[in-house]
Chain A
């Protein structure tokens, strides 16, 4: 459903990604891993339209995405969860969810979607009037995920959903992501926590210095000595 072909991108004139390729099939969880500075977040930002690619193509369900702004990309059915601070901190939990439905024209559709989200995340119903910025880090992340659900996305892009969370909260957020995936939503996840993403992802793409270094199933990656040494530490095995 998502296809990235030969994409080079970066900031200003600085090229960070060099002819990167990537695919996500419907219902699939694809992880992107790699060392710091490998261009993982840059790739997500390029797919979602925050950065225009220098070259290459990005298509979603056979429609071209490159050259489109993030608000146009999301209207195609893609949700985006930023690494941190992706919520509207000074607004209430409910207002955050209402804004998640900004692209829907009917207020009734937005309210119905929010009702479904409250059923799925009852703690947000209890805290609907609470300032979103006063939620814990894990809850803010969950709210950012929940906010993407208002438009019923077919793909959600997540930038390090486990960053700065305790192991318990990491399991919680990955539990939520597994539920979403079971409901048919494809996920594209950049993750530093390699072991965690290998447990969840169907396939993994390794980026190194802005280039594709490996692409395969989580099991294939676990079996590759070189990749294991580089990305899972020497003791892997």
Chain B
């Protein structure tokens, strides 16, 4: 029993790493721009397709694919603010109503999903794992791909936190999240920081998409369920709180993995949303959020 729990804990940790790369980005966008990006899952899907093109179509090594995919999605993410959000903000003023942006990103999500469907077709494309072999512990076997996910998720999130903590642009991102007017008064151009924030979050989602591609295949809607789940995670962690999103990702993923032992796997998805509803009723500001 103990070994079984340990096995599922490791699976939960791997899944938690993916959730975190996704939810931290979503939270970053919300914290800085006050926008819930419903299209975030599609950037994850594009990351998977980018890896597919790099590895399967072009025959490049996995390591190259894992660099190209997030960079490609980062570059695509650079276009989101200037082409979509900025024009709407300009027309409606800085205090454009939030629901409009929600609908805008929902539209973007549908557009991207349909574009992927039109270009790549609806079939599930499989990508070979980036790492062969695995680690044979006495009680369980962890595939190399899962170990890679753990390492890359840890490293990329660690780098993101270091960037936000110490780098000039990272500090500017935090400054804009805290106090946009004061940020402008010290010379921080809001538009550039908004653009960078979305691109970083998209790049992280793209990397997550490339990492899970060998496990879940690549298809247009691969990210959409994750988007919905990430909402539950961000609410559990506290809206806009990055550390909260990280911890909540690990909690939800571990709960999901462990729940398989006691409840049927069809109920697995209900864990995140059950937890979200419970948190909203008991502690609406989330685990790490400040009281409203």
Residues of A in contact with B (beta carbons under 8 Å apart): 12, 48-50, 69-72, 74-75, 79-80, 82, 85-91, 95, 98-100, 102-103, 107, 147-148, 151
Min CB gap B172→A, angstroms: 6
Determine whether B100 belongs to the interface, using a CB cutoff of 8 Å to chain A.
no
Return chain B residues, CB-CB under 8 Å to A12: 93
Determine whether the beta carbon of B187 is less than 8 Å from that of A91.
no
User: Given the known A-B contacts A12-B93, A95-B171, are A102 and B188 also in contact in the complex, defined by CB atoms under 8 Å?
Assistant: yes
Q: How many angstroms between the C-alpha atoms of A179 and B245 in the bound complex?
A: 46
B242 to chain A, nearest CB (A): 12
CB < 8 Å neighbour of B172 from A79, A80, A102: A102
Identify which of A71, A80, A103, A151 gathers the most chain B CB atoms within 10 Å of its CB: A71
In the bound assembly, the distance between CA atoms of A91 and B174 in angstroms comes to 9
20 A-B residue pairings within 8 Å (CB atoms): A12-B93, A48-B185, A70-B181, A70-B185, A71-B189, A72-B189, A74-B187, A82-B185, A86-B182, A86-B185, A87-B179, A88-B179, A88-B182, A88-B183, A89-B178, A91-B171, A95-B171, A102-B168, A102-B187, A151-B187
Complex alpha-carbon distance, A50 and B185, angstroms: 9
A95 to B182, CA, bound (A): 13
**10 additional contacts, CB 8 Å, given A80-B185, A100-B186?**
A50-B181, A69-B184, A70-B181, A82-B181, A85-B179, A86-B179, A86-B181, A88-B174, A88-B182, A102-B186
Q: Which residues of A contact B183 (CB under 8 A)?
A: 88, 99
Contacts of A75 in B (CB 8 A): 187
Asked whether any CB of chain A lies closer than 8 Å to the CB of B175, the reply is yes
> Whole-angstrom distance between the alpha carbons of A71 and B176 in the complex?
12
User: B188 near A69 (CB under 8 angstroms)?
Assistant: no
Q: Nearest-CB distance from A155 to chain B (Å)? A: 13
Nearest residue, chain B, Cβ from A86: B182
In the assembled complex, which residues on chain B have CB atoms less than 8 Å from the CB atom of A102?
A: 168, 172, 175, 186-188
Task: Decide if B184 touches A71 in the complex (CB within 8 Å).
Answer: yes
**What's the minimum C-beta distance from B89 to chain A, rounded to whole angstroms?**
13
* Residues of chain B in range 176-201 having any CB-CB distance to chain A below 8 Å: 178-179, 181-190
Contact B186 A147 (CB under 8 A): yes
CB–CB B178/A99 < 8 A: no
Q: Please, how many angstroms separate the alpha-carbon atoms of A70 and B181 in the complex?
A: 9
Tell me whether B178 and A88 are in contact (CB under 8 A).
Answer: yes
| Chain B interface residue bracket vs A | 10 to 19
Question: Lowest 3 CB-CB distances: which A-B pairs, in order?
Answer: A103-B187, A70-B184, A80-B185
**Are A99 and B93 in contact, CB atoms less than 8 angstroms apart?**
no
Which residue from chain B places its CB closest to the CB of A80 in the assembled complex?
Answer: B185
Please report the C-alpha to C-alpha distance between residue A102 and residue B187 in the assembled complex, in whole angstroms.
6
Give the shortest distance, in Å, between A54 (CB) and chain B (any CB): 15
| Inter-chain contact B186/A74, CB cutoff 8 Å | yes
CA distance A88 to B186 in the complex (A): 11
A91 partner, pick from B93, B175, B184, B185, beta carbons under 8 A? B175
In angstroms, Cα B186 to Cα A56, docked, is: 25
Once A12-B93, A88-B179 are accepted as A-B contacts, the answer to whether A103 and B186 lie under 8 Å apart by CB is yes
Q: Residues of A contacting B93 with CB < 8 Å?
A: 12
CB <8 Å contact, B171 and A99: yes
Return chain A residues, CB-CB under 8 Å to B188: 71, 99, 102
Output the least CB separation between B243 and chain A (Å): 12
Contact code string B3-40 (vs A, CB < 8 Å = 1, else 0) = 00000000000000000000000000000000000000
| Assembly CA distance A72 to B183 (angstroms) | 12
State in angstroms the CA–CA spacing of A69 and B186 once bound together. 12
Cα separation A179 to B14 with both chains bound (whole Å): 58
B249 → chain A closest CB, angstroms: 22
Check if B189 sits within 8 Å of A87, measured CB to CB.
no
Chain A, residue nearest B172 (CB): A102
Beta-carbon contact of A50 and B178 below 8 Å:
no
A223 CB to closest chain B CB (Å) equals: 36
Q: Once the chains bind, are A99 and B186 in contact (CB under 8 Å)?
A: yes
Cβ of B178: which chain A residues have Cβ within 8 Å of it?
88-91
A69 to chain B: which residues have CB within 8 Å?
A: 184, 189-190
Neighbour of A88 across the interface among B175, B184, B190, CB < 8 A: B175
Q: In the assembled complex, how far is the CB of residue B189 from the closest CB belonging to chain A, in whole angstroms?
A: 5
CA A158 to CA B285, docked complex, whole Å = 35
- With a cutoff of 8 Å between Cβ atoms, the chain A residues found around residue B171 in the complex are 91, 95, 98-99
A103 to B184, CA, bound (A): 10
Docked pose: A12 CA to B93 CA in angstroms: 9
Interface string of B82-96 (1 = CB under 8 A from A): 000000000001000
In the bound assembly, the distance between CA atoms of A56 and B170 in angstroms comes to: 37
Report how far A71 CA is from B187 CA in the complex, Å.
4
